[in-house]
Every structure is written in structure tokens, then in C-alpha cells.
Amino acid sequence: MRGGLVAVLLAGAAHADGVPKLPSGQPVTLQEVVWPDPAAPGQKIARFRFVAPKLRKGGGNEADMMALCEAVARPAIAAQTAQVDQIVVSLAQMPLKLGERRPDVVQVFEAYEIDDGHCALAGL
């Protein structure tokens, strides 16, 4: 199930002040939110997909990813009635289809759980 109205609202907020200034200072926009299908069995994963044109290979994205989880994903999930077990935050240099692999485009992903009201790295 795609993000629907919530994704539209968040995308609009991303261009205003909905997406925080990241610790790295790199610009970022919300591409989409993919909510879990409530009828599907198994773990319920909400995917928050962001575009960061200046994203570079290598580490150093942890603080940015956490900031996006805390400032964008966590409040959006709190506003939903759907059950979410895990949050996946992703950054890509350019918009890509969900699951698309392009060796020429840097992509990073991180999984989180809500623990005591805050994002925490998921125990994978």
C-alpha cells in the first residue's frame, strides 16, 4: 500500500520545514512513504524514502538517517492507525523505483524500531 494522502502531506512538508536540516548539511527531499499492507502476514514495515543528491559512498550517514527517523518517520507513524513494527529509512542520490538497483547511484538504508517513544536501530 503506497503512502497516499500522508505521503502527499509529508512531501509538501519536506519542501517547507517538514524535513529537518540534516547534521551533514546535505539537502534532502521526501520521495515517498510506503506503508505496510495491513492484510499481509508478517512484519509490518513502513518505508520512508528520501532523495539526497549530494549523497556520497562510505559511512557517515548515521546521524542523518536517525534525524530523518526522529523528525519525519516517527511523527508520521504516530499519526497513523496502522500497526508498524519497523521503519526503514533510505537515502538515494536520485529518485528510484522501490527495489531498483543501480550501481551508479549511491543508496543507503537503515532499519529502526520505536523504543520508548524514539527511534532505535533495529535488532536485525
Q: What is the pLDDT of residues 21-61, one digit of tens each?
A: 899 999 999 999 999 998 888 889 999 999 999 998 888 89
- Band (pLDDT 50/70/90 cuts) for residue 8 is very low
Q: Of the candidates 60, 77, 74, 78, which has an alpha carbon nearest to the alpha carbon of residue 22?
A: 60
DSSP 59: S
**How far apart, in whole angstroms, are the C-alpha atoms of residue 95 and residue 37?**
23
Task: Give the dihedral of Cα atoms 10, 71, 63, 60; nearest 10 deg.
Answer: 0
Reply yes or no on whether the pLDDT at 98 is more than 70.
yes
* pTM for this predicted structure: 0.83
Eight-state DSSP code of residue 117: T
CA dist., res. 27 & res. 116, Å (int): 29
Average pLDDT, the chain: 85
**pLDDT for position 18:** 66
Report which of residues 64 and 18 the model is more confident about. 64
Q: What percent of the chain has pLDDT over 70?
A: 85
